[in-house]
Chains A and B, each alone.
Chain A
C-alpha cells in the first residue's frame, strides 16, 4: 500500500503538505502554527495556549457559536493543542466534508479575538490552571521544566501562570497573533482520501489575502541545569520522583535509537517495569525522552510511597547503570522494533494519526516521512547503536533530581 505526498508552498509562504491515503474513507486537516510557550515574553507566559482557545471564539466572519456549530454539523473529530514549541488545530471528517473543514480552520487562523469572549475565556484558563495544580503528575511535569530550564523560556508552563493570564490584554494577544500566525509561520497539513490539486487550489483561495511576516523563528537553545529541586505539597499522598538527563533534540540522527533506548529501559515489559514496578516499589515508573527543537531530556520517573523516595531514586539509577554496563540484550532491541512495526501499521490506517505524525515530521525535518521510511529507520536500530547512544548521552551522571509530594526529600 503506497502513500503519496504532495508538498507545495504558496506565494504567501504557507506550506501545504498532503498525504494521499488510498483505502480510507475519511480525511483530516490541520494548521500548524510554529509557535509555543517558549516563544513568549515572560510577562505574557501562557499567551500561546490562551490564543489557541481564542481561535475558537470568533472570526471576522463567524461568531464563536457559529464556529462550534459548524464543527459539530460535520460531525468532525476536532480539537487543538499547544506545546512549548507548537500549536496545532485539526479536524477529522468524512472525506466529503474536507473542504468545509479546511475553510473553517483557515478562518479560525484569523481570529477576531472578541473582547467579551476574551474576558470569559480568561476564567476558563484560570480554571484549567487550578485543575492542573490538583493533579500531582501535571504539577510535577511543570515543576521539572521550571527547574531544569530555569532562566530560559522553556521553563514556564504551557498554561502560563495565574498572574500572567490575569494581566494579559486582548491587544497583547492580537500583536502575538499577527506576528506568529503569519502564513510563512504556518503549515497546512492534510491526510486521507483527498485530491491534492483541489486542496492546493482551496488553500490558495482561502489565504489569498494573508501577508507573510518575513521573519524567521529564532530560538536560543536552553542549557540543562544540574542539581535538585523539591516541592513539598502536603495535600498529596504519594511522591513523584524524576531523574533528568540531557538527550538529543528532535530530528537527531539517533532519534529512533533514543526512543528504543527509553523503551528498553522504561516502556512496557521493560527493565524498570520488571525490576521496580513488579518489585512493588512503585505503581507507575518508567523512562521516556522528551525532544525539543534544539535539546532533549531523558526522564526516569516514578510515583512512590513518600517513605520510599530513596529506594525508588536508587533503583532508577541502578537500572540506568546496568543498562550502560551490560548493554541491551538482542531480544530487548528486537521486541521494541517489533512493537514499533505494529504501531506504524496502526498509524497508517487512520488519517488523524498520520496527520499528527506528518505535522511532527514537517516541523522537525522540514518534510514528511513515509511509513516505509520510518520502518527503515526502525530496522536500523541495533544493540550497538543503543550502546553508542548511551555513550553520547549518558544517564549515569547525577542529572537533575526532582521531587514533588508530601515529603521534603531530599533535604536541602
Chain B
C-alpha cells in the first residue's frame, strides 16, 4: 500500500482519498459493468453489519463519503472532522476487507445499472461522451462504468465477489490524505488495519494501451440539439510536455476569454455549452472538445471548433500565454483553501507519478512554458487524426469533415 499525507495543521477537516488500482479495464469482456457493481455493492454489508448499519456507522461519524469507478481504479473519498479520522479509517478497512456482497443487493445493483443505462438515453451529453469514449479509446480504456445491457445480464453475485477477491488487496491500494493529521500515526494505523489484506507487493500498475480509432460516426436521435464531440491524442500526465498541453488547453477553453468561448459563443452565438479538456489514463492522454447546438448550426459549429484548434498553431500570442499561465497558477492557489482539493491533488500524484509531487514544482513547470514550447508541441502533435461522434437529428455535412 502506498500512503501520502499533506499535513495542514490549521484546517477544520480531513480529506481522505483511497484508491484500489483496478478499474473498468480489468473487467472480463463479457461482464462489462462489473467494476462499478463492486463499487456499488461493497458497502451493502460486511461480516460485522448489514449495509444500512454500515452507512449509519459512517453517518454517526459525520463522514461525507463518495465513490467512483474509473478506467484503472476504484476511488473512495471522504471528508470528516479530525477527531473522527481513526474510526473512519477503521470503517473503511472493515468495508474493503470484509464485504459480504449479499445476493439481493447484487441483484438490485445489476437492475439499477440497467436502469441507469436507460436513463443515459435521456442525458444526451453523457450519452455522446459514452459513444465517443468507446470509439476513441479502444477495447480496454473505452469502457463505460455502466457496461452494456448485454454484459450486465451476465453478472451475478458470485462474479462480483470473485472480482473483489481478485483485485482488492493491499498491494493495489493508494491512500492520500490532507488536513491536520499526524502522518506517522495514520501510517501505523493503516499498516495495522490492512495487514494481511491479500497480496502486499505492488500490483495494478501495468499500463493499458489506448487503441485510438480515428473514425466519424453519427447516431440518430430525436433531440432539439445536436451533440458534437471529438478527440485526438495528447500526452500523458507524466510527460514533460504535459504543462505545455495544460497551457494550450487553458488558451483554448479555460475561462470566458478563451478561444472557444470567444469564437463559438461570444462572436457567433452558436452554442451555450462549448468546452475542451484532457483526460489522462495512466501513461496516455487525450484531448476532447464538445459543443451542443441546434441542428441547422451544427456544421458551422463543428467547422469553428476545428478552426480554433488549428489556429492555435498559427497565431497564439504572448498575452494569451501569460494569461493562461497566470490563470492556472492563481486558480490552483485559490482552490488551495479547500482541504479536499489538496487530498485530490495528492491522490492524482500517487496515481500518475507513484509519489507526491510538490505543488510548486508543478506550477513552476507551467510558468516556464514559452511560446516556442507551445508551437513545438503543436508541430509534434498535429490533430491530423480525429475521432468524432455526433448524436442528434442531423448528420454532419461530409464535405465539412476532416
Report A's interface with B, CB cutoff 8 A.
Answer: 1, 23-26, 56, 64-65, 67-69, 71-77, 92-94, 97, 117, 120-128, 130-131, 133-136, 234-238, 268-269, 274, 277-280, 282-284, 303-305, 331, 334-336, 338-339, 341-343, 345-346, 348-351
Contacts and interface: CB of A to CB of B under 8 A. Distances in A.
Contacts of B334: 25-26, 75, 77, 92-94
B97 to A, nearest CB: 21
A72 B267 contact: no
Interface string B291-331: 01110000000000000000000000000000100111111
A65 B267 CA distance: 10
B257 A349 contact: no
A134 B52 contact: no
Given A283-B112, A335-B59, A339-B62, A128 B272 contact: yes
B294 A127 contact: yes
Given A25-B336, A238-B122, A349 B13 contact: yes
A92 B292 CA distance: 28
Contact of B271 (A127, A134, A331): A127
A68 B256 contact: yes
B105 A278 contact: yes
A72 B257 contact: yes
Contacts, number: 192
Given A77-B331, A123-B270, A134 B337 contact: no
A338 B334 CA distance: 28
B225 interface: yes
A339 B59 contact: yes
A140 to B, nearest CB: 10
Given A68-B257, A346-B340, A131 B63 contact: no
B55 A280 contact: no
Contact of A71 (B108, B255, B292): B255
Interface residues of B, number: 71
Contacts of A334: 60
Contacts of B258: 72
Contacts of A348: 12
B108 to A, nearest CB: 4
Given A75-B326, A75-B330, A56 B256 contact: yes
Given A274-B52, A284-B119, 4 more contacts: A269-B55, A336-B59, A346-B64, A349-B12
21 contacts: A25-B334, A26-B336, A68-B257, A75-B327, A75-B334, A120-B269, A124-B271, A127-B270, A127-B273, A127-B292, A128-B272, A134-B223, A235-B221, A269-B58, A280-B108, A282-B115, A283-B112, A305-B115, A331-B60, A335-B56, A351-B337
Given A72-B255, A75-B329, A342 B55 contact: no
B239 interface: no
Contact of B225 (A130, A277, A284): A130
A238 B51 CA distance: 28
B262 A349 contact: no
B383 interface: no
A168 to B, nearest CB: 15
B64 A343 contact: yes
A120 B59 contact: no
Contacts of A120: 266-269
B12 A345 contact: yes
B360 interface: no
A351 B268 CA distance: 35
A77 B255 CA distance: 9
Contact of A127 (B261, B272, B340): B272
B192 to A, nearest CB: 25
B218 interface: no
Nearest to A23: B10
Nearest to B107: A280
A268 B51 CA distance: 13
A134 B127 CA distance: 12
B124 A134 contact: yes
Nearest to A26: B334
A26 B11 CA distance: 15
Contact of A68 (B52, B122, B262, B331): B262
Contacts of A238: 115, 118-119, 121-122
Nearest to A341: B62
B333 interface: yes
B195 interface: no
B339 interface: yes
B333 A94 contact: yes
